[in-house]
Amino acid sequence: QQQVKQSPQSLIVQKGGISIINCAYENTAFDYFPWYQQFPGKGPALLIAIRPDVSEKKEGRFTISFNKSAKQFSLHIMDSQPGDSATYFCAAKIASYGKLTFGQGTILTVHP
């Protein structure tokens, strides 16, 4: 059962543009939603995370928007840079449990 659906699978953006990646979840018990960034040959690294008691969280050029009623959340990367080219994964967790449930990933390419 795929509990977190992520789109698009791949995304190409010009330098300076906005990258938007969307995720939808099914399990209403999820209460922690992190985004991970993965470069080739490396493990994923936490980028930014949100709890469902807020609708938006911003850290630098990265913003998570959260819509609890629609069970959707998205990552916005402002002023995208070639160094942002990586695979991005959304994830969800029940905070009192251990495991993360991941989306399928989005390969982002930012052209100079």
Contact residues for another protein (CB under 8 A)?
4, 6, 32, 34, 36, 41-46, 49, 51, 89, 91, 95-105
Q: How many angstroms separate the Cα of 30 from the Cα of each of 13, 33, 43, 66, 101? A: 31, 8, 23, 13, 9
Give least dist CB 66 to another protein, A. 14
One-letter amino acid for residue 85 of the chain: S
Give least dist CB 86 to another protein, A. 14
Give least dist CB 55 to another protein, A. 17
Residue closer to another protein, measured from CB, 32 or 61: 32
